[in-house]
């Protein structure tokens, strides 16, 4: 008879990580951060339990895109009113709010359900080096964003 260990919310140890987005590619950074938010980097990953960690991203305005995406990539938003389609390029969005570029990229990589919303709340993105979470003693998270360095 196989005895399995059940994992519950009180058994989960949430850690805090910090990532410097300076000179990191947005998409590759987003995939690695999304895995940590979901908890897929832990040996006790369970899809129906939020066992992910908190991630702090600093220097969000210095994250980069490859190719011509800075000028060609467009974000769309519709107000659901006639003629309500709004478009923004990455360059315009970076000037208005650079945090939303990384937040959107990571949010779209999380599950589209209640669990994904809970995991997204563990993401904290900041423009610049300052953040209010020094008391949590975040550990530097090394992300591999070079092409072909998948581990």
Give me the domain span that covers residue 34.
15-64+99-140
CA dihedral 27, 33, 34, 35 (to 10 degrees): 120
75 in any annotated domain: no
Residue 128 counted as domain residue: yes
**Into how many domains does the chain fold?**
1
For residue 8, tell me if it sits in a domain: no
110 assigned to some structural domain = yes
CB 100 within 8 A of CB 93: yes
CA–CA gap between residue 137 and residue 15 (Å, rounded): 9
Q: Looking at the domain assignment, is residue 72 inside a domain? A: no
pTM, entire model: 0.88
In this structure, what CATH number is given to the domain that contains residue 107? 3.90.1180.10
pLDDT in tens, 2-36: 666 677 777 788 999 999 999 999 999 999 999 99
Residue 35 lies in a domain: yes
Asked whether the predicted pLDDT for residue 151 surpasses 60, the reply is no
């Amino acid at each position: 008879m196989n005895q399995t260990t059940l994992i519950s919310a009180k058994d989960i140890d949430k850690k805090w990580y910090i990532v410097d987005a300076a000179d990191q590619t947005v998409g590759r950074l987003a995939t690695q951060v999304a895995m940590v938010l979901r908890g897929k980097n832990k040996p006790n990953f369970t899809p129906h339990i939020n066992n992910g960690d908190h991630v702090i991203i600093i220097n969000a305005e210095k994250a980069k895109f490859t190719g011509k995406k800075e000028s060609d990539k467009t974000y769309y938003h519709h107000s659901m009113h006639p003629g309500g389609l709004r478009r923004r390029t990455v360059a315009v969005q970076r000037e208005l709010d650079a945090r939303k570029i990384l937040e959107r990229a990571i949010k779209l990589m999380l599950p589209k359900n209640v669990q994904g919303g809970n995991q997204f709340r563990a993401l904290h993105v900041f423009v610049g080096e300052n953040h209010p979470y020094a008391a949590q003693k975040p550990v530097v998270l090394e992300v591999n964003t070079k092409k072909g360095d998948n581990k």
